[in-house]
Structure 1
Amino acid sequence: MALRPVQVNIKALDGSAVGRFWAEALGWSVFRPGVTTYVAPAGELVWPHSVDVCLDIVPVPEPKSATKNRVHLDLATRSAAHQAELVARLQALGATPAQVGQGDVPWTVLADPEGNEFCVLEPREVYRDTGPIAAVVVDCEDPRAMARFWGRAMDWTVREVTDEQATLRSAGGVGPYLEFLRAPGGKTVPDRVHLDLLPYPGDDRAAEVARLRALGATDLDVGQGDVPWTCLADPEGHEFCVLAPS
């Protein structure tokens, strides 16, 4: 049994507008299968996507707080010129510069139109084949503990573990990375951005949820009511959902 990350869930006051921004930012398409806005590679709607971790923008009535999100996206670039061009294009689309204590770094920190932080990275060889999303990045207190939990929770491979960072990627070596970076301070507000996981066809979702609880996940009540997915939190309180196969 195993789980795979299939989408990054982003809460938004205006899901359609935020979805359009991210579709333009990534060169992907917008789909509206229901109340959410799904952003995925161009073409017909494919869910789950076989390679990319896509975006699902969920409308909520509350705006983002001033607190930095604990989960953000890093975008890949091919060259210094591409990085500069992408930053300029994103700002024209409504992104704004963001200060998160980054200091003098070679990447650019921006926020989407509703304040969700993300980074446009300088060219890095490690991300040459990821597609537009280089990594889904999670702030944490203990990268080693996160590698143990998430390495067992999912079928992705743990690539690197240090006191400062843990990195996972799909077993096939395709798509974005999942990175846990050491950052001071724990969770203080509900997560605005989180991962959604999906069992493989034929696997039992209830059994997968029980397995996650045994690994240290805890049940989470975010007012979801009676829904076909299960809301959980990892050992450091990062929210995530286990979806039901369609």
Structure 2
Amino acid sequence: MGPGPGSNERKHDEGGVTGGSTADERSGQRETCGTEDVRIGGVALRLVQVNFKALDGLAVGRFWAEALGWSVFRPGVTTYVGPLGGFVWPHPVAVGIDVVPVPELKTTTKNRVHLDLATTSAAHQAELVARLKELGATPADVGQGDVPWTVLADPEGNEFCVLEPREIYRDTGPIAAVVVDCTDPRAMARFWGEAMDWTLHEVSDDHARLRSAKGVGPYLEFLRTPDVKTTPDRIHLDLLPYPGDDQAAEVARLKALGATPADVGQGDVPWTVLADAEGNEFCVLAPA
């Protein structure tokens, strides 16, 4: 589900990009950044990456690196995608993508978690859609109808949206939002607002929107849908305690908030797999 501590050996992608994917490896990249790694408000978890399952993790990782203008880091079996430029991992500006190889194909069921990509103009949106198709993205119909955004799927069928320009996303970076389908956005906002050190910006019966308390990076959004979860999530969220905090204590706190243990065949791993009140799996990683 999520990466645990592993080898610190840096490896190069065949495309010539260096880096690392485990918590231990990425936390060692201590470069200068504008936002220090400090807790806000006493809550000891933060969203650090979006985890994708894929048959070909490297190919999917390369697609997303090209799509976002980021780089591929691969120190082992997982492929991490994130930006260069002096960011310390983890960093709220750069909620990365960690791609884990699995033997199962994606089902025809729409993913309950997807990415929304930001654009700055109509021309930028059209240009980005065209470039993504050249990279291997295909049009996707999820029942969206006539809307100003474009729905695509990556090379393994994971749906995502290229949004029309929106003022709210002007400073998020290439990922405008990580979007989770749900039946009760208010309940999800309560749980995730308590689970993480993110701030609730907006909530209604139809949607909820949170963002890092530092006011940077993508939003985490919950969108009301009539669909009920029927399969394990192909895409999920990975949370990380702050340095010096206790993973077991954080897991206990999440259970008190309503999270339940989840078995997705992970076996004996250093991270803990839980599910929120609507059954969406997520991982609590071991502190770096």
Q: What TM-score, normalized by structure 2, do the two folds share?
A: 0.84
Quote the offset at 1:47 in angstroms: 2.7
- Checking the alignment, whether the CA contact within 8 Å between 1:31 and 1:45 is kept in structure 2 is no
Tell me the residue number matched to 1:78: 120
Query: What's the CA shift for 1:46?
Result: 4.6
What's 2:250 paired with?
A: 208
1:115-136 per-residue CA deviation (whole Å, 9 max, x = no partner) reads: 0000000000000000000000
- Which residue of 163, 179, 190 corresponds with 1:137? 179
Structure 2 residue 212 is matched with structure 1 residue 170: yes
The question of whether the paired residues in 1 share the 8 Å contact of 2:92 and 2:216 is answered with no
Q: Matched residues, percent identical?
A: 83
Provide the C-alpha distance between the structure 1 equivalents of 2:230 and 2:114, rounded to a whole number of angstroms: 16
Residue of structure 1 in register with 2:221 after alignment: 179
CA shift for structure 1 position 43:
4.7
DSSP-derived class of the 2:63 partner: helix
Cα pair 1:140 1:183 within 8 Å, conserved: yes
Please give the alpha-carbon distance, in whole angstroms, between the structure 2 residues aligned to 1:245 and 1:204: 8
CA distance in 2, matches of 1:20, 1:223: 26
8 Å Cα contact 2:262/2:274 also seen in 1: yes
CA contact (8 A) 2:92 2:214 kept: no
**4+ residue runs of structure 1 moved beyond 2 angstroms?**
42-47
Task: Say whether the 8 Å CA contact 1:29–1:42 is kept in structure 2.
Answer: yes
The alignment of Structure 1 onto Structure 2 pairs a total of residues equal to 246
Q: Secondary structure at the match of 2:130?
A: helix
| Pairwise CA distance, 1:245 | 1.6
Tell whether 2:267 aligns with 1:242.
Answer: no
Q: SS state of the match for residue 5, structure 1?
A: strand
Any conservation in 2 of the 1:29–1:43 contact (CA below 8 Å)? no
* Aligned-partner Cα distance in 1 for 2:194–2:249: 14
Q: Superposed, which structure 2 residues align to 1:19-38 within 5 Å?
A: 19-38=61-80
Unaligned runs of 5+ in 2: 1-42
SS of the residue corresponding to residue 132 of structure 2 reads: helix
Partner in structure 2 of residue 55 of structure 1 = 97
- Cα separation, 2, equivalents of 1:92 and 1:59: 23
Please, which of 58, 63, 77 is the counterpart of residue 16 of structure 1? 58
List aligned pairs for 1:192-231, cutoff 5 A: 192-231=234-273
1:105-184 map, 5 Å: 105-184=147-226
